[in-house]
Chains A and B, each alone.
Chain A
Amino acid sequence: MAQVLPGEHELRRVIDEDREVEGLGEADLLELYRSLILLRTYDERSLVYHRQGRIGTYAIFWNHEAAQVGSAHALEDDDWIFPSYRESAIGLLRGLPPATVLSWWRGHPAGWWNPADYNVASICVPIATHVPHAAGLAWGKKLKGDGAVAIAYFGDGATSEGAFHEGANFAAVMGAPLVLFCTNNQWAISTPLEAQTKAEALVDKAAGYGMPGIRVDGGDVLAVYEATREAVARARDGEGPTFIEAVTYRVAPHATADDPRAYIDLARVEEEKQRECVGRYDAYLRRLGVLTDELAHEFKEDALATMRAAIAAAEAEPPAGPEELFEHVYVDPPTSFGSDLAELRRILDA
């Protein structure tokens, strides 16, 4: 396996070079495509559901699908995923029902899953705070001689946080089998990358932790897959963590509550949209003769049907009652919870 030297700024690419990834057959290529379509459809439908008032504030991940799908496909099911809000639907690639994730954005308790069921940790909202969790899980798996690795997803902005630094350093020092997956979409809400760091590239951070870094075209699902596969193999071989910088561009608002027109260059956004990641892979597969109109149509229809069923299931969840407030906080709850609930019910029922 090629040793990756820190400071390699050239983006690794597969699609633009019309290369093929060793070991990926036609079925694998189509599986990646199916996943891309699933996440793309999830995202586009979620935005519609938001506008219809069926889900709340939502963090759009349009044009981040290749980074998410490519990396997640390089993992085994025993490997752990630590998502941020930007990867809210990444669990779908592990069989997490889309209705569950929709429920999360609906502010309903049905949206909160047990990570151990899917090896997908809870959606992390406070920036970078899950990086140490992922380092700890990976370290713990190593101590137990379990072959599993972990991947932590975070953004370019997250690399400014203390928690990122501490987590990365821990992972390196403990030799934790961890992939630090940084989705550099070049924005942290309204803060551009150049206001976030003076590093020429985020991948340069890896050197400071004594770990290899890989810089990859985040809009290229195959390049991301290949890079993550390499990092995962290193981790599994006991060689410790790897930092991956997947470079993409946030063409959508930060979230549904954001209006980027005040700070973003709309011409650049349009340019990036022309290169969006699903279309690039679609064209590549067609060049290879792997993807046909029929298949593409079938995948899209499947994904749409999945989403229709998912939103119906999420909306069919019975409303949560006030007792939910007090559930699952402690194994052994204090007696005050009982009296608080009784009083609350008395007032609500009055």
Chain B
Amino acid sequence: MEALRNLFAFMSANSSVLIDKTIEHMQITGTAIGIAILLGVPLGILISYVVPLKKPVIGFANVMQAIPSLALLGFLVPFLGIGRTPAVFAVVVYSLLPILKNTVTGLANVNADTLEAARGIGMTQLQILTRVKIPLALPVIFAGVRISAVTSVGLVTLASFIGAGGLGDIIFAGIRTLNTNQLLAGALVACILALTVDRIGGIIEKLVTPACFKERK
């Protein structure tokens, strides 16, 4: 009880730093996820149509995902220096796979009869993609984005190692100085942030889900 009171005392005393770092954290995550979506969804669409590209692209994303996160961050420093750029880069690389995979899966899982009907009534390939495939695949695509966003919140805490800022700064400072309150404050906010992102993700996922998938069960 005493410990908890101390923690909250610390948090209110340092609220402005905590808020700044949270915003920083969100900025990095947001930028990275934004880029990952802009990259991953079109790439996913591309490899759904150009089948020969599918294996190499997914393979490459798999390999990237397999690199330990700290190792990846370290590896980027010689090329991109320290700071936000390598951090964003690393998060994008990690987020790509779920988004890419879910885009491909989502598009592939659109009912074959629906697609045949679309072709049969004379829609062009582009119209089928934009009016039928993407709307129907959107929930699956967005589920990938949601997974990416939640993992990214965690990954960005590590990015403090290469000077990207964010809540990692508070956590690592707490570890270095053996300040439990500081450590816990950073970790707690990071957790809350991750859960919040997941919740918001869930809400958006519902919004993009066509009515037909919601009630039919």
B is bound to A: no
Interface residues of B (CB under 8 A from A): none
Residue numbers of A with Cβ under 8 A of B are none
